[in-house]
Amino acid sequence: MKPLSPVFAELARRYRRSQAGRTGQAIRVGPVQLKEVLQSAGCAEGDAREVAEGELKEAERVGVLELVRRNRRVADDISDIRLLPEKEAEFFRHIGGASPAEERQALSEQFTAARGAAVPERWRNGWTNFLEQKSQAASAGDSVEPFGRPAGEANAELLTLLPKLLAWDGESLRRFASCVLCGDSKRLEQLAGKLEVALEAITAGRIRTLDDLGIIPNPRSVPVHGPLRLKLDGEWLDFGRLHGAYRLSLSDIDRAEALETSASRCLTVENETSFHELAKLRSGVLLIQTSFPGSATLALLRRLPSVFEFHHFGDSDEPGFGILEDLRRRSGMDFQPLHMLRGRVPAEQESLGCPTLPSWPFYREN
């Protein structure tokens, strides 16, 4: 295909941005100055200008645009260029490209064609309605976010992935799911923002993130230390016998038939280094390492006795107190700050670069 000339490329760009180009509704498009178009197209002088003016005159001769002259008797005295909405198809055919109307139609048809994709029955209506809305928006020249214009491979990739995601079952790390779905371990992460916008719209907010599908960036687990027993498959596992910290997965917390602890206090610790130092004391306090709590942390907290004392040991800055408030709100537990001083950082923290460890009396169980 012959490359599009600079002057026609600039005119096409301007027309697409006009109301007539975006929606097909306008009956007129305002004239544009020849000088302005030539400068934007990079052909305002010399041979490039001569070629551009020759192309414009030929387009005028075949009737696909109008040239406005200051002196009608002087052919080269061109001041403005006028594109005609009623000649849109002819103009774009003349310059060798698809017209905006054809592009809107192709985009609308791309959404319509995707309605036949296999999606789980519970999402069928949401999927169909979503695509119908996008098809209508494409025809009207409205936004089709998170998709782009014109129809193309980028849209096709999203429309292929969305049904697969709606049918995803089970928990997997994001890079593994990306390999399975995209053949590329990083592609799903790159498209996550667009996919999540579409998933939320299709499912009426029931799926907002890839995490909601079980496609997670990191394993859902929580670091723990202290006396804790889980009954799994009819047998008790005593994690309190371990000297070091251990991790519990969300799936094991959820499937545990029972959970017991001999501790009367639970301490969540923001700083991982402090958590491991406190674990060495083997004090009998149930320790949980967490910043803003994930699903595994919350699942464990909700299975602990409500008569527990709940404390949080975090940084004495605003993010640290933000974690404390988030723990209270999302767990429903009355977490109290431990060695957290709002508005200032303890001298020991400043000098050592890490939070001061809670004093020993805190660990004396009654």
Find, among 182, 180, 137, 138, the residue nearest to 160 by Cα: 182
| 228 and 209 in a common domain | no
Do 87 and 29 share a structural domain?
A: yes
The answer to whether residues 227 and 270 belong to one domain is: yes
Q: Is pLDDT at 357 greater than 90 in this prediction? A: no
Q: What pLDDT, on a 0 to 100 scale, did the predictor assign at position 77?
A: 80
Where does the pLDDT of residue 2 fall: very low under 50, low under 70, confident under 90, or very high at 90 and above?
Answer: low
Q: Are residues 226 and 352 in the same domain?
A: yes
Q: In one letter, which amino acid is 183?
A: G
Residues 210 and 226 in one domain: no
Gyration radius from the chain CA atoms: 32
Residue 355 has pLDDT above 50, yes or no: no
Residue 11 domain-assigned? yes
Share above pLDDT 90 across residues of the chain, in percent, rounded to a whole number: 74
- DSSP assignment of 307-321 equals TSEEEEE--SSHHHH
**What is the rounded CA–CA span in Å between residue 6 and residue 41?**
5
Same domain for 289 and 163? no
Q: Is the pLDDT of residue 351 over 50?
A: no
* Mean predicted confidence (pLDDT) in 37-53: 93
Residues 116 and 52 in one domain: no
Measured between alpha carbons, how far is 244 from 282 in angstroms, rounded to an integer?
A: 9
Check whether 100 has a pLDDT greater than 90.
Answer: yes
Are residues 112 and 133 in contact, defined by beta-carbon separation less than 8 angstroms?
no
Q: Do 135 and 203 fall into the same domain? A: yes
Main-chain dihedrals φ then ψ at residue 28, nearest 5 degrees: -140, 150
Query: Is the backbone peptide bond immediately before 3 cis, with ω within 30 degrees of 0?
Result: no
Handedness of CA 90, 95, 99, 100 (dihedral sign): negative
Q: What pLDDT digit, counting tens, does each position of 273-320 carry?
A: 999 999 999 999 999 999 888 889 999 999 998 778 999 999 988 889
At 202-250, the pLDDT tens digits run 999 999 999 999 998 877 899 999 999 999 999 999 999 999 999 999 9
Final residue of a domain: which of 97, 119, 150?
97
The domain that holds 332 is classified in CATH as: 3.40.1360.10
Determine the structural domain holding residue 146 and report its residue range: 102-216
Residues 6+ apart with CB under 8 A from 299: 250, 253, 254
For residues 231 and 212, membership in a common domain is answered with: no
Tally Cβ neighbours within 10 Å of residue 134.
Answer: 26
Looking at the 3D structure of the chain, how many domains does it have?
3
Q: Tens digits of per-residue pLDDT, 323-350?
A: 999 999 999 999 999 989 876 554 444 4
Residue 174 structure tokens: 């994001």
What pLDDT sits at residue 217? Answer: 83
Judge whether 1 lies within some domain: no
Q: Is the torsion defined by CA of 57, 61, 62, 68 positive or negative?
A: positive
Tell whether 249 and 348 lie within a shared domain: yes
CATH number where 43 lies: 1.10.10
Q: Give the residue-averaged pLDDT of 8-17.
A: 92
In a domain, 256, yes or no: yes
- Report pLDDT for 26: 76
Domain assignment of residue 164, yes or no: yes
Both tokens assigned to 42: 């990079």
**165 lies in a domain?**
yes
User: Do 81 and 72 touch, CB atoms closer than 8 A?
Assistant: no
pLDDT, average across residues 252-279 = 94
Kindly report the backbone phi and psi dihedral angles of residue 256, in degrees, each rounded to the nearest multiple of 5, phi listed first: -60, 130
Q: Taking the C-alpha atoms of 47, 51, 54 and 56 in order, what is their torsion angle to the nearest 10 degrees?
A: -130
**For residues 287 and 275, is the Cβ–Cβ distance under 8 A?**
yes
* Domain stop point among 82, 97, 112: 97
Residue 45: partners with Cβ closer than 8 Å, 6 or more residues away: none
Domain boundary among 187, 216, 245: 216
Q: Note whether 233 and 303 are same-domain residues.
A: yes
Distance CA 82, CA 5 (A): 18
* Domain presence at residue 271: yes
Per-residue pLDDT tens over the stretch 210-219: 999 999 887 7
The verdict on 125 and 60 lying in the same domain is no
